[in-house]
Each structure stands twice: as C-alpha cells, then as structure tokens.
Amino acid sequence: MNTLFTTAGVIFILPALLLLLYTIHTIASPDYTTTAFAQEENNNTVTTTNITGVNSTLVDFVSNIEQIKGHLNAAVMNKQAGNNTLAQAHTFHPIAEIYSRIEPQISTANSTLNQTLSSNLNQLSQMVSNSIVDQFDMQAQKVNGLLNQTVQQVVPVETANNATFNLMVVSDILPIASTEYGEAVGNGKVTEIVEYQDGQAFVSRAQSVFGQTSSRIPQEMTPKIQETNQFFSDLNNAIQNKSNPEVIDASIREITHEISGITGINEERLGGSGTDTEPKEVISEIRTLLNQTIQEYKQQNYDEAEALAISAYLDNFEFIEAPLAEKDNTLMVNTELMLREQLRLLIQNKVSIEELQQHIDKINNNLDQGEKLL
C-alpha cells in the first residue's frame, strides 16, 4: 500500500545500546540549567530540584507531538460536523509539516514504533471520506495513544514529569498558535479557516498541558496559576470573537509573563521579550503607547486600545518594576495596578473618553515621579 511518506528502513542490531547512547547525548547537551519543580513519586508534596539537560530539542519534540494532537482534535471536530474537506486538511498537516521533524528521534528510540505511528497517521488520513464518525474517532484515539508512547520512549521520565519542562512546552506552542491565527484573521473576519482552526487547536493543547501541570507546581504559586487560567480564558474568548491578531499576541505575552514568574526563566528564553533600555526610555515608550491607546479608543477601536495598554505594561513597565520598587515600592505597586488591571477594565467597560483620559493622566503623574527616582 502506498503511503504519504516513508520511514527509515534501518535495522538496528543493538537497539538498546543506541537508545542508551541517545539518552546520554541528550543529558550531556544541556541548553540551560535551572531550578525546576518536580513531584515526588511516593507522596503528594512538591519540591524543587536542580535538573540539567532539559534542552530545547526535547521541548521542541513534545511541542510537535502536541501540535499533532491539536490537528487530530480539529480533524475529529470537522468529521463530526460533516466537513470532510477540513478533516482531510487536518489529517494531512501532521504528515506534510510536522512528522519529519520528530521521525529521527522516534526511529532512534524505537524504529518499530516509528513505523507503526507513521502507518496509522496515513491510515487516518485515508479514512476521512470512507468511514463513519465513530470509526474515524477510534482511529484518531489510536494515533493519540501512539503519540503518548513516543513521548515515553524519547523523553526521560523525570523530564516528562517535570513542571518546568512542561511549562516550557506551553510557551513553545503558544507563539506557533499566534502565527497560525495571524495568517487566518483580519478585520474581524476569518480568511483562512484551516489556519484559524490550527491556532484554536494549538491554544487548546497548550491549555491542556498547563492544566495537567498545575498540580505539580508549588502551592505558593497558586495566585499565578489562577491568573494564567484567566488569561487562557481571555485568549479563548478573543479567538472565538475573531479579535485582531494583536489582541491574541498580547494575551499570549501575558501567559508567558506568568509562566516566567512561576519557573524563574526569563521571558526572552520562553519566547517573550526582554529589554536593556534605560528606564527613562522605557517610561517614554509607555507614554507613547498610552497616547496611542487614547487615539484608538477615540476611534472606538477597543481591541487595539486594549492591546496597546497591555503592551505598555508587559513590554515596558514590567522591566522597570524592580528598580522602581527599590526606590518607592508603594509607587511601583500603585502604578502597576493602574496599568495592568484598572486601565484594561476601563477599556473593556467602554467608559467615556474623559474618564479614560483622567486615568491615563494619573498614570503619567506616577511615571513622572518614577522618572525622577530612576
């Protein structure tokens, strides 16, 4: 039977030895060393342990697995809706766009599993037009099970169960979702339905991984977990409402910001943004963004206004919080609250332009004080 892609037909004489060598290579090639959260196997407590060797290759591998799962979920959804064309597209994307990235690792770990997974992915794609929903769903579940097996084969168990590792996977998936969404939506309209569904499905997978990881995060991080869950809810609502891509990007930056706070890994490494700009330049940029916020609000471009307000905080004020807190912690906390929460709430409630301007004037007064201190 012809398949849409072929697998490496290599016979491994010493598979166990090769697997051992691969594992040693993975552990010996760290991308960074960090303090990560791990759950003890014999009790419900969570401790922090130093781990090395959690590298970008393994993060990318699991991220790709999750993207395939997202495509499969979208395929099943479309099959259930009777849209075989879209279901076909979502079964083909893992084969055409993703599998070649992960096949070498799967084949090295277990060549038989590699052949089985590729065969079943092809079979699912070939079933779209000649199967009933239950048959298609059963095959999709089978592929999902095989995907889980590949993670078990390729990723060391202590890494796969590590909270920091999984939060890095979340941070890896979200920018990809944002890119897909950005290609699909403009002016509140979906122009590319497959990419729109990709973005939606990838966000869903990222949220699922975060939810599964939450129980392994120390209890003192509960407020950040709750905030992240709320940001995921906001992100899903924005996607459902077909908001402009800038709004989606802003929500994703908020999630990345919270994950950075949980893991202790800076946002630049997680896919966020960093800055080495002088504090006065940062404050000047905040003022510029606030002025742009007012202009967009006057035009009733509320999504754009909110995105600009988010950028004023996440992409700018966040980077002067620490030095400002050293000089005047009360000023820092009040300004953060005004920027991060109150300003967005005013925009969401569509208050009068005068009320919004008054609030921004207060923020600017605080920034004037901060600029003198810094």
**CA proximity to 326, closest of 370, 267, 266, 275:** 370
Say if residue 275's pLDDT is above 80.
no
- What is the per-residue pLDDT for 18? 40
pLDDT band at 277 (very low <50, low <70, confident <90, very high): low
Per-residue pLDDT reduced to its tens digit, 7-38: 344 333 334 434 444 443 443 333 333 334 43
**CA proximity to 122, closest of 210, 5, 13:** 5
- What is the per-residue pLDDT for 169? 96
Place of tokens 């754009």: 304
- What is the per-residue pLDDT for 308? 87
**CA proximity to 262, closest of 329, 165, 159:** 165
Place of tokens 């168990």: 157
Say if residue 237's pLDDT is above 70.
yes
Residue 164 CA: distances (Å) to CA of 20, 123, 133, 220: 24, 35, 37, 15
- What is the per-residue pLDDT for 124? 97
pLDDT band at 116 (very low <50, low <70, confident <90, very high): very high
Distance CA 90, CA 64 (A): 14
In this prediction, residues 58-87 reach a mean pLDDT of: 96
Place of tokens 């202790």: 264
Residue 338 has which token pair?
């005004």
Residue type, 287: R
- What is the per-residue pLDDT for 43? 33
Which of 68-72, 116-120, 301-305 has the lowest average pLDDT?
301-305
- Helical (H) or strand (E) element with 240: helix 222-240
- What is the per-residue pLDDT for 14? 39
Torsions phi, psi for 347 (to 5 deg): -65, -45
**CA proximity to 243, closest of 302, 311, 172, 298:** 302
Helices (H) and strands (E) in the chain, counts: 18, 4
Ordered by start, the domain boundaries in the chain are 55-161, 171-274, 277-373
- What is the per-residue pLDDT for 42? 33
- What is the per-residue pLDDT for 310? 85
Distance CA 69, CA 205 (A): 8
DSSP category for residue 317: G
Say if residue 232's pLDDT is above 80.
yes
- What is the per-residue pLDDT for 267? 80
3-state secondary structure of 34: strand
Residue type, 282: V
Asked if residue 180 lies in contact with residue 198, where contact means CB atoms within 8 angstroms, the answer is yes
The mean pLDDT of the chain is 84
Place of tokens 């890896």: 172
Per-residue pLDDT reduced to its tens digit, 245-264: 999 998 999 999 999 999 98
DSSP assignment of 187-200:
TTEES-HHHHHHHH
Per-residue pLDDT reduced to its tens digit, 207-231: 999 999 999 999 999 999 999 999 9
Question: Judging by DSSP bridges, how do beta strands 185-186 and 189-190 pair with one another?
Answer: antiparallel
- What is the per-residue pLDDT for 316? 85
Instruction: List the CATH code of the domain at 277-373.
Output: 1.20.120
Say if residue 306's pLDDT is above 50.
yes
Say if residue 181's pLDDT is above 80.
yes
Length in residues, the chain? 374
Most distant pair of Cα atoms in the chain: their distance: 76
- What is the per-residue pLDDT for 45? 30
Per-residue pLDDT reduced to its tens digit, 314-343: 778 877 887 898 899 999 999 999 998 899
> From the CB of residue 21, how many other CB atoms can be counted at a distance below 10 Å?
12
Global pTM value: 0.68
**What kind of fold does domain 55-161 have according to CATH?**
Four Helix Bundle (Hemerythrin (Met), subunit A) (1.20.120)
- What is the per-residue pLDDT for 204? 97
Strands of 119-243, DSSP E: 185-186, 189-190
Per-residue pLDDT reduced to its tens digit, 43-53: 333 333 333 34
Distance CA 114, CA 100 (A): 11
Per-residue pLDDT reduced to its tens digit, 120-170: 999 999 999 999 999 999 999 999 999 999 999 999 999 999 999 999 999
pLDDT band at 187 (very low <50, low <70, confident <90, very high): confident
Q: Indicate if 277-373 has the same CATH topology as 55-161.
A: yes
- What is the per-residue pLDDT for 315? 76
